[in-house]
């Protein structure tokens, strides 16, 4: 029986694709390798748990993607020298982009597959073993919608459900449309069936996933489809929390705001990518909204959902960005009052239009602006989190998130508005991952809340959930060394 380990670099889309790769390997008879010392009795340098097959699911959106990949592959080369039967497979966006170039640079790689053909992984592994030769197979377009593939879910309580793949936009800094193709939407009935299935397995939270969820439905001629889908998910019994990512400000319409506000199980959190506060830069990025529209959306969301926590992505130093453009970004960030933001220093991605521009901003200027942006957002995040002190929060306990903090035992999880919350545990109370606790916020830090009210009262209301039962049942299963991936018990479909 061969074992596998999937290592994920990149975004939620990749995390979910990795669940599918694991599901395919489960179905082909492989077993997940535990993140424990390897067959030689020591933790492997690569942390692959001594797996016979290591799959790296790559990303090419983030900076230094290739450097990271080849760094990983360099480590694995040493491991493979000691375990010659081991196979290495590389998939994901960078594989789609580099193709056979990966095997040319790292000839010890056995399999390369792309974003459109996850399903071929087990067959390619067999063929590579049989022929003793590297196999590279890349498709130019999607043949099988990935959601029809078996899925090995990492979490007992939260599940990703894809509603679309690909993107029809042409943001000039982004490589996604070239690597993931044009948008393909799943039919609502298929999405809802999957949502109902994961809830039946114990999940209490679902995140609907697409590169641009707001254009969902355009492919089958229904522009109101995303709002309708949110409302329909709200009728699934047992589903307590609905989230989605990522929306796009250009396509974000009021029917979606109304659906969010009127569906109690759609959570009061929204990730709305700003990218730049300068209209001139937005135009150069080929993002069709402007700062005024962006702020207008936030205002309408907050009017309809007063306790919404809004987060964002912001890029600093896009080619041609002037000090005046950057100040416009600071102004919009100040006005937006994001609960948190992912901030990026622009760096050219080969193959994107922005990479070829000659007016790249010098690295030291980008770095200096970045520090100012981070300082601003840290202040806002701290103020926003401090404003939560005294509020009662409902927290779903996360997996692998229990910890000792001095004499205080705490668990961590996400509140309804998706803030990370650390909760003190009175003696004798041990909620399981997936259980729900309620506590009062006692401290707000830039990146998390502390809810230690139970230290004063000795009481922490815990609601035991079916997700917690599933987690416990999985933990009690025999042969844990083969049933655990990355230390996290799993739910299978």
Comparing CB distances to ligand SF4, the nearer of 60 and 465 is 60
Among 12, 75, 169, 408, indicate the residue that binds ligand SF4 (CB under 6 A): 169
Cross-strand bridge partners of residue 11: none
Q: CA-CA distance, 65 to 58, in Å (whole number)?
A: 8
Per-residue x/- marks for ligand SF4, 193-222, CB under 6 A? ------------------xx----------
CB of 123 to ligand SF4, least distance (A): 29
Neighbours of 238 (CB within 10 A): 14
Are 274 and 335 spatial neighbours (Cβ–Cβ below 8 Å)?
Answer: no
Among 13, 94, 167, 308, indicate the residue that binds ligand SF4 (CB under 6 A): 167
Task: Choose the stretch contacting ligand SF4; rule: CB under 6 A; options: 170-178, 188-196, 333-341, 354-362.
Answer: 170-178
| Binding of ligand SF4 by 98 (CB under 6 A) | no
CB of 41 to ligand SF4, least distance (A): 44
Tokens of 39: 């067959």
| Binding of ligand SF4 by 174 (CB under 6 A) | yes
Q: Rounded to 5 degrees, what are φ and ψ at 74? A: -60, -45
Comparing CB distances to ligand SF4, the nearer of 87 and 214 is 214
| Binding of ligand SF4 by 311 (CB under 6 A) | no
Comparing CB distances to ligand SF4, the nearer of 117 and 211 is 211
Q: CA-CA distance, 314 to 285, in Å (whole number)?
A: 12
Cα 263 versus chain centre, distance: 23
Comparing CB distances to ligand SF4, the nearer of 169 and 322 is 169
Cα 348 versus chain centre, distance: 22
Among 47, 101, 177, 219, indicate the residue that binds ligand SF4 (CB under 6 A): 177
| Binding of ligand SF4 by 171 (CB under 6 A) | yes
Task: Choose the stretch contacting ligand SF4; rule: CB under 6 A; options: 143-151, 169-177, 276-284, 349-357.
Answer: 169-177
Cross-strand bridge partners of residue 341: 312
Q: CA-CA distance, 184 to 314, in Å (whole number)?
A: 26
Q: What angle do CA 176, 177, 181 make, to 5 degrees?
A: 115
| Binding of ligand SF4 by 12 (CB under 6 A) | no
| Binding of ligand SF4 by 248 (CB under 6 A) | yes
Cross-strand bridge partners of residue 164: 185
| Binding of ligand SF4 by 242 (CB under 6 A) | no
CB of 247 to ligand SF4, least distance (A): 10
| Binding of ligand SF4 by 282 (CB under 6 A) | no
Comparing CB distances to ligand SF4, the nearer of 46 and 213 is 213
CB of 212 to ligand SF4, least distance (A): 5
| Binding of ligand SF4 by 115 (CB under 6 A) | no
Binding footprint of ligand SF4, residue count (CB under 6 A): 9
| Binding of ligand SF4 by 60 (CB under 6 A) | no
Task: Choose the stretch contacting ligand SF4; rule: CB under 6 A; options: 167-175, 400-408, 433-441, 472-480.
Answer: 167-175
| Binding of ligand SF4 by 136 (CB under 6 A) | no
CB of 458 to ligand SF4, least distance (A): 48
Residues that bind ligand SF4 (CB under 6 A): 167, 169, 171, 174, 176-177, 211-212, 248
């Amino acid at each position: 029986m061969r074992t596998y380990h999937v290592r994920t670099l990149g975004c939620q889309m990749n995390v979910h694709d990795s669940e599918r790769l694991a599901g395919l390997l489960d179905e082909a008879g492989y077993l997940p390798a535990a993140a424990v010392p390897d067959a030689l009795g020591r933790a492997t340098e690569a942390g692959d748990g001594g797996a016979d097959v290591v799959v790296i699911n790559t990303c090419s959106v983030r900076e230094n993607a290739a450097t990271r990949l080849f760094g990983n592959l360099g480590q694995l080369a040493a491991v493979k020298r000691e375990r010659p039967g081991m196979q290495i497979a590389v998939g994901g966006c960078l594989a789609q982009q580099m193709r056979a170039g990966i095997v040319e640079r790292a000839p010890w790689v056995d399999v390369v597959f792309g974003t459109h053909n996850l399903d071929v992984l087990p067959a390619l592994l067999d063929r590579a073993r049989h022929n003793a030769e590297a196999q590279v197979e890349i498709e130019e377009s999607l043949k099988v919608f990935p959601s029809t593939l078996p899925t090995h879910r990492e979490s007992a309580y939260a599940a990703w459900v894809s509603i679309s793949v690909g993107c029809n936009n042409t943001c000039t800094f982004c490589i996604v449309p070239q690597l993931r193709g044009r948008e393909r939407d799943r039919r609502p009935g298929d999405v809802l069936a999957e949502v109902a299935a994961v809830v039946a397995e114990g999940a209490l939270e679902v995140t609907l996933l697409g590169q641009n969820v707001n254009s969902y439905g355009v492919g089958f001629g229904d522009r109101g489809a995303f709002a309708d889908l949110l409302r329909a998910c709200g009728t699934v019994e047992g589903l307590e929390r609905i989230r989605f990512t990522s929306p796009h400000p250009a396509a974000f319409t009021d029917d979606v705001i109304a659906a969010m506000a009127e569906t109690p199980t759609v959570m009061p959190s929204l990730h709305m990518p700003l990218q730049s506060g300068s209209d001139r830069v937005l135009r150069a990025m080929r993002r069709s909204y402007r700062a005024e529209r962006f702020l207008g959306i936030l205002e309408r969301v907050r009017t309809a959902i007063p306790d919404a926590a809004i987060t964002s992505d912001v890029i600093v130093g896009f080619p041609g960005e002037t000090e005046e453009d950057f100040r416009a970004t600071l102004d919009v960030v100040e006005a937006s009052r994001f609960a948190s933001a992912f901030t990026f220093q622009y760096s050219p991605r080969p193959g994107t239009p922005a990479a070829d521009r000659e007016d790249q901003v010098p690295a030291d200027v980008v770095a200096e602006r970045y520090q100012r942006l981070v300082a601003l957002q840290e202040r806002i995040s701290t103020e926003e989190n401090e404003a939560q002190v005294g509020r009662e929060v409902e927290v779903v306990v996360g997996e692998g998130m229990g910890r000792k903090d001095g004499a205080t035992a705490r668990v961590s999880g996400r509140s309804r508005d998706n803030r990370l919350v650390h909760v003190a545990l009175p003696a004798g109370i041990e909620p399981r991952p997936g259980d729900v606790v309620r506590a009062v916020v006692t401290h707000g830090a830039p990146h998390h809340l502390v809810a230690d009210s139970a230290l004063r009262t000795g009481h922490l209301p815990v609601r035991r959930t079916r997700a917690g039962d599933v987690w416990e049942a999985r933990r009690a299963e025999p042969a844990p060394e083969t049933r655990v991936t990355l230390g996290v018990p799993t739910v299978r479909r």
